[in-house]
Each structure stands twice: as C-alpha cells, then as structure tokens.
Amino acid sequence: MNNQYGYMRVAAAVPRVHIADARRNAEEALKIMQDAFAEGVEIVVMPELSLVGYTCGDMVLQKKLLSDAEKSLEWLMEECADIPTVGIVGLPVVYADRLYNCAAVFAQGELWGIVPKCYIPNYGEFSELRWWVSGFGITDRTMRYAGHECCFGSDLMFELHGVQFGIEICEDMWVPVPPSSMQAVQGAKLLFNLSASPESVCKHDYLKSLIAEQSSRTMAAYVYASAGHGESSSDLVFAGNAIIAELGRVLGVSERFVRNSRMVISDIDIEYISTRRTARNTFYYPDAPEMRIVELAVDEICYHGDVRRHIEPLYFVPEDEAARDIHCREVFAIQSAGLAQRLEHTSCKNVVLGISGGLDSTLALLAVCDTFDLLGLDHKGIIGVTMPGFGTTDRTYHNAVKMVEALGCTLREISIRKACEQHFEDIGLDANERGVAYENSQARERTQILMDVANMCGGMVVGTGDMSELALGWATYNGDQMSMYGINSSVPKTLIRFMVDWYASNRAEGVLRDVLLDVVATPVSPELLPACEDGSIAQRTEEVVGPYELHDFFLYCALRRRYSPAKIAMLASIAFEGVYDKKTILRWLKVFFHRFFGQQFKRSAMPDGPKVGVVGLSPRGDLRMPSDAQERAWLAEVEEVEEQLNSLGW
C-alpha cells in the first residue's frame, strides 16, 4: 500500500483490440500502462487474450501469432521498464506442447508470473476446448518466456507492497467454486479477472451482481476487465465491461459500447478488507490448496493525498432513491416484527409511549401502528402520552396531538409542570438553576408517568430513543434511556429523518402527511429548557453535541469499519467538503469519542430492541465494551491531526 490510510489504487482497462496484430495490441497496452501510471494506479488489468484478440479463432494455433505474442510482451515489458505500475495482460502461451489461455503479470521490465485459465467453456457460443487446455494441475512449475524465467501455474498468487492478489480468467468466475475463492482464503485481498464475455440483453446487470457477490463472499475487491471494441462481431458483440467491486459494493463501472479505450480507477480499502476478515472467524476453508506467493520487487508509487472513490456522507442512508425506498420499508418491517413478537410473548394488547412531536417519538409511533396492523389490533390500544413541560413549544405540542388523533390512537395529556415543581421543592433545587438536575428530573418524571400508565392498563412502554443518542449518551439514565422495548435503538438519527419523510410521502395523506412533514422540518431538541420569548425552541441538540450527520458518520466509521481517528477525520473532510471545515470536523470528532467512551454505562443497561442495520450498540449483541474503557489514545490521535493542521496554517 502506498499511503498511510490503507488504500491501494487499481484499474480495470479495456484497450482497443486489433485481431491477430500482437504488436499493435502491445502498443495499445503501453498507452494503458502509461495512463495508469500517470493516475497513480498500482495494478491495472486488461481483458482476456488482449495481446492477440479473443476472437482470433484457429489463428491462435499459428506459430506466427504465438511467436508475435511472446515478442510483443517482451517489447511491452522493455517499454515499461521505468513504470512501477503492475500490468496484467492476456495472451496465448505454449507450455510442454500444450496451449494455454493465460494472464501475464509484469512490472518494471520484469515478468513475474504466468497464470493459465482453469475452466474452459465448451457450451453455447463457446468452443474453447478446440484450442485451450485447462490449467488445473499445473502447479509448482517455472518456464522461460519473453526472455525471462518466471513462475507458471494455477497455484500462483502475487504480493505487492505487502498486499496479496490473485488472478482468474473469465469462466473461472462463473463456476460453483471459483479459483478466486481459494485465493481469497489463502490471503488474496485483490482479485483480478481477465474476461471476454460477449454481451446479451440484461446480461450486464447480472454480471455486475455476480461480481459484487463474489467480492462479498470472498471479502475482497474484485477487478474485472472484459473485451470490447475491435473484437470480431461475426456472431457476438463485446461491449467492453470494466467493473470494480469491493465487499459487495460496486465502486466503478465503465461506459459500454464505446469505440475507444477506457479505464475505471478506484482506491481499494485494503485496511477495511483486512479488518472485516479479522472480525469474521468463519473466513477460512480447511481444504484450500497451497498457493505459491510471488513477491514483486517493484518501486512504490507516491501517494498524492487524494482518494479515488466516492465517500458517502450518510453511510446509514442509501443514496439511490429506489434503494432508499426499499431500505425504509425494510426497517419498518423489522421494527414491527420485533415488537409484535414481544407483544405476543407478553400477551400485551396495549402499548404506551411518550409523544413529543419530535422525530424519534414520531417514528416509534408509526412503527407501533404498523405492529398493531400486523397483529390485527385496534389502534386505540396505542396510548400516546403527551407530557408538556417547561420547554414544550406550541409547534411540537400540536404536532403530537394531531399525529396521535390522525392515526386513531388514544391520546392522553399529562403535564409534568406541577410534579417537577414539587420535586424541585422536595430536593431543594432552585427552579431558576437550569443545570443537569433541572433537565434530568423532567426526563425521569416523564418516564415514571409512562411506566405507571402502562401498569394501569396492563401495557408495555415502548422507548423512542435512537442509536445516535445512545452512541453519544444523549439520554437521561433511568429516564428516557429506559423502557420495556427500545424500538428505535438501532436506528440512527440521519435515517429517522428520511424514514418519517418517506412515510409522509408514501403512506400518509391529509392532516397526518402535513404533520409528518413539519416534524421533519422541526429542529431536534429534548425541550427541557424554557422556550424563547417568541415561542420557538430554545434548546437545539445539535448546537450542544454537534451535527448528527457528522456523529453518524463517525459512528459508522468507528464501529463498522474500525477506522483510526485520523482516517475518520480525513474521510469526513472529503465527504462533507463545503459543509464543514476540517477544524469543525475535528472539534466534533473529539466530542464523539469523549462521549462515546464516557457514556457506555448507559448502553450497558439499555433495554431490548431490534437490530435493523449493520451497526448496533446492544451489550447483548454487537458491542461488548467495558464501561470504564479509556478514550485517551483516540483523543490523542485527533489532537495530533489538529496539530498537523495548525502547523499548515489552518
């Protein structure tokens, strides 16, 4: 890897092909190598038989073409003697009087190895057994080719700057157990495929899903380059697919059916691949074949500080609208299924929850309504309690009331003012002293009311707090932190806003739709401090603890990807460029780590709740964390980054 953040830059390239003209194809490959080097690419793969053309037919049996292919590779390597980018090209190779469809790996004038194709298709439009022999069983061999002694065989893997990669050719990926699967369990984090797969209607989408699936199953990056313009169209058409996927996600796809060379480039997160594998104790295969590792002695390509991949600002919210629609439906389904099981188990027919007119309680109410519909229960069994206090505004109060009524639930209004004033008097707290006790006593009073109302009706208190609040400890211990079932406990704040908006747009109408849209537009607040003179919300959560979109980004990177603080800060500066400057990001990153470590005791005592995504904070599930873990090392790294920025004049 050529940078401190654990990325390796790779490319899938589709050069213009000249059938049976090995020298011109080598010249096309040289242009690809030069362009790749200029872009800082460390490894570039080109299509199957790219030095002669996949559609050569019986011409591959001609000694002239076989000799030209070898000489052209030798010329290409000489021309690339000063280029540290590793190239992978396809060509025919004769070994022990047998003809193999091969991939040659070269860099800086050296031929590092030749890998033969294992699975030779002979069905449908393919008749490859007419020419090629399978590379299965070719192990522990060497050969002299293109003026170099090199390793030859299907047992080869390669290592570049500490990162291992494997190679397979076209059909090898389409079989039940691809060679890349065995390469991955032996340590390959990058998998390259040289292909010449012809195009047909709807095949492209299937191909992308297959590549994404293989990258997911192997917990690796999969880099695929397939033949394009220049191949014979006598019976088939080759569109020129270049696709890069990582851990199940497609990072880049080339334009198809174009008449010029093209290249897709992406930075692969090798560090994350390694982390995911380390955390997955089932990532192994007991009978995986032994592989030979060829270590490439190649110069490192300098890292220029850029990251060639899209960094999502909202990891928990799909960027694609169609995918987001499915995501919202799924979360609602998981929430309602989880609560339905709990209600059936406890024989509860009533649910009690506090309705504030804010995002969290709104999502909880909608999910509870879905649960009652699933169980065939009357919404009147849903008791929405609005509990006006010192900070309740007319806007949130009226939204809470309208929402409960529009959904056909039972509304109860129980003010906490008198009870809290009495409590302040009992404990000797000056009501003008607006500290932690002033705020938390209100939260605990509300929780007590909900619990008691539930006892009165034989019901269950459903909590409304979300995962982002739990991560920051933005909840009152034994107050809103507690319930009998935390339905939002693994739903982040950034997703909740989209879910309520989605429900308003897709499932609500009239008054309910208007209320939900206004809830989405309302600033996030616990409303524990008196409102402003104009009646607006005085206590805005994100002004105190920081923007939730940043904290959700930090949470995902820290728990799902296990990135270092420095890497999180770097990625956040890219994802939120033009929104937050680096100093602002570092400020809230320190707040995140300080609160995340310091508030674990609240999460250790959190109630049951359904996990809906890839990140969870349950002490019985995803997060086994001691309450007294130290944050010092994490904060120190953030401060180091801050010092570096200051030294640069930020």
Task: List domains and CATH numbers for the chain.
Answer: 10-296 (3.60.110.10), 321-647 (3.40.50.620)
What's the pTM? 0.93
Average pLDDT of span 275-296: 93
The lowest-confidence range among 39-43, 232-236, 420-424, 514-518 is 232-236
Task: Tell me what the pLDDT averaged over the chain comes to.
Answer: 94
- The model's pLDDT over 103-135, given as tens digits with 9 standing for 90+, comes to 999 999 999 999 999 999 998 888 889 999 999
SS3 content of the chain, % helix, strand, coil (to 5): 40, 20, 40
Classify 144 as helix, strand or coil.
Answer: strand
- Best CA proximity match to 437, nearest among 528, 527, 526, 537: 528
pLDDT digits (tens, 9 = 90+) for 457-493: 999 999 999 999 999 999 999 999 999 999 999 999 9
> Is residue 3 predicted with pLDDT exceeding 80?
no
What Rg, from alpha-carbon coordinates, does the chain have?
30
Supply the pLDDT for residue 527.
66
**pLDDT over threshold 80, residue 204:** yes
pLDDT in tens, 623-638: 999 999 999 999 999 9
Question: Residue 380 — pLDDT band, cuts 50, 70, 90?
Answer: very high
Determine which helix (DSSP H) or strand (DSSP E) holds 220, and give its type and residue range: none
* Catalytically annotated residues: 48, 117, 170
pLDDT score of 303? 65
Mean pLDDT of 8-24: 96
Q: What is the pLDDT of residue 613?
A: 94
Give the E-state strand segments of 448-592 in sequence order. 460-463, 485-486
pLDDT attached to residue 61: 94
Helix extents (H) in 280-409:
321-346, 359-375, 394-406
- Residue 258: other Cβ atoms inside 10 A: 13
- Percent of residues, the chain, with pLDDT higher than 70: 97
Tens of pLDDT along 182-202?
999 999 999 999 999 888 888
Per-residue pLDDT for 1 more than 70?
no
Q: Which residues contact 295 (CB under 8 A, 6 or more apart)?
A: 158, 159
Q: Which of 146-150, 166-170, 300-304, 410-414 has the lowest mean pLDDT?
A: 300-304
Could you report the per-residue pLDDT of 208-264, keeping only the tens digit for each?
999 999 999 999 999 999 998 888 877 888 888 999 999 999 999 998 888 888 999
